[in-house]
Structure 1
């Protein structure tokens, strides 16, 4: 297995929309969602909205049906499968919830490609059939302790990434992290010099990184859409595989790798090495 852990955010990274908004809008609850938004944390709001939708007659099957229609670029699917085929350890780190993520991955045949999914837990109430969404970190019991001031109260992705990096399966491996939102900034600051950060260009995490790129130790390689994500991600994986084998770029001994994984001709929008 390659010495690479690829950590994906989910909303607007694997899928091209925010799954919470997609469900709320798809089931006609946008007005109620916007009314309640200023009154409670997002994670609590989504649990509340599942109750509101259930009370209005929307079933769990209705929720799942909307989730299955969420757009997922086929190039992203191809990138996930290619990285898995090259021996990468794929993980998800998302502030969505487990039911939403599992439903979408299963619909696209991607369930078995990820060794771990870190997200807000969810469960179906056996008595009512209503979906409950809980916080990853129980902020009612106390704060998660991240001092950055950007992470939401229910999840510090930086702390979760630290745990992933320290786990038996990931220890000593190089990390490639992909994300788009403000919550993905904290983990980007915790990546090391041999790691890679792949922010979605034009999205909040990219803007935060651009404010002071020197704060990051990892190399930064941005992307804008599924095609650029696939090209950039496989290029970085190919580069790491070549370095692991002490081979120069484009070595003919790696003919079995996809061409995009070993060709390094694509310019980097932002490169940082401290």
Structure 2
């Protein structure tokens, strides 16, 4: 199954909330966060919040303890382990940050399942506080995508596609509006798995035919596990086109339009 690459978003896909909000809320700084939110870009704000946490005596250990109790659906870890055991190449494309993601994955004992993590860089500085940097350096250049401020996941998917060649097939799982751009970069032989009733699903439903990939929605960790494993098995047995037809796109559009 080396021909299958499974790309996961992180927040609200692997974990069941936004990791940035989770840390800020759990450490009691949500009021300040909400006050500053309209005044600066998200990554700049998160770096500022890490500075505020540090200045108020919150340590890296405090952040780690919060991250280690982040909510996650009980079927997500078995799903990731199963997909990895089948020989698929698992990757993460997320607008969280390296420290949060690495800390959580290591705690869940699934870090070794992922060959690559594309996210905002972060590090612990000499003062012992976490610094978060943007994936794209807007001081020097823009990523040029009007769909994706501040991080263009579509551009990352294109780089992955270029490195893989034509024979690899992608399965992309995500929930947020930032996952819409990569869904448009997927090819006809690929699969898009948007989380139902989340922003990327709603964007796709506006015009499903813009997405070349075959679409299959999911709602929770149990469905993520079942559908992703079905897809992998179908791809390997050469039956993927029978499993999900273009009618699925029309079904999604009709379901969304009925609400």
What TM-score, normalized to structure 1?
0.87
* SS of residue matched to 2:52: helix
Whether 1:165 aligns to 2:161 is yes
- Tell me whether 1:49 sits opposite 2:45 in the alignment: no
Q: What residue number does 2:216 align with? A: 221
Q: Which position in structure 2 is the counterpart of 1:152? A: 149
Partner of 1:100: 100
- Cα distance in 1, alignment partners of residues 131 and 160 from structure 2: 26
Aligned length: 248
Maintained 8 Å contact 1:221/1:268: no
Output the aligned Cα RMSD: 1.8
Match of 1:129? Answer: 128
Contact 1:121 1:134 in 2 (8 A): yes
Q: Distance in 2 between matches of 1:204 and 1:269?
A: 21
What is the aligned partner in structure 2 of residue 9 from structure 1? 9
1:14-93 to 2 correspondences below 5 Å: 14-93=14-93
Mapped pair 1:270 → 2:245: no
Whether the 8 Å CA contact 2:208–2:249 is kept in 1: the answer is no
TM-aligned CA deviation for residue 269 of structure 1: 9.2
Q: State the alpha-carbon separation in 2 of the partners of residues 117 and 231 from structure 1.
A: 24
**SS at the partner of 1:87?**
coil
The 2-side partners of 1:268 and 1:49 are apart by: 45
Q: 1:48 to 1:171 in 2, by over 3 A?
A: farther
Which consecutive aligned stretches of 4+ in structure 1 deviate over 4 angstroms post-superposition? 266-269
Residue 64 of structure 1 and its aligned partner are, at CA, apart by 0.7
* Distance of 2:135 and 2:245 partners within structure 1: 37
| Kept in 2: contact 1:222–1:270 (CA 8 A) | no
**2:206 aligned with 1:211:** yes
Residues 268, 110 of structure 1: alpha-carbon distance in 2 compared, 3 angstrom cutoff: farther
Distance 2:229 2:106 in 1: 23
Aligned ranges 1:243-262 → 2 under 5 Å: 243=238
**Cα distance, 1:172 vs structure 2:** 2.6
The superposition leaves residues 119-177 of structure 1 with CA deviations (integer Å, 9 ceiling, x where unpaired) of: 00000002x1010000011112121111xx22122x10000000111115x65300000
Counterpart CA distance in 2 for 1:163 and 1:216 is 18
Question: Matched residue of 1:238: which SS?
Answer: helix
| Equivalent-residue separation in structure 1 for 2:95 and 2:199 (angstroms) | 15
Deviation string 1:216-263 (CA, Å, 9 cap, x unpaired) is 1000100000001111100001101111xxxx69xxxxxxxxxxxxxx
Cα distance between partner residues in 2 of 1:267 and 1:53: 50
Contact 1:221-1:269 at 8 Å conserved across structures: no
Offset, 1:10: 0.1
Asked whether the equivalents of residues 222 and 269 of structure 1 are also in contact (C-alpha less than 8 Å), the reply is no
Alignment partner, residue 257 of structure 1: none
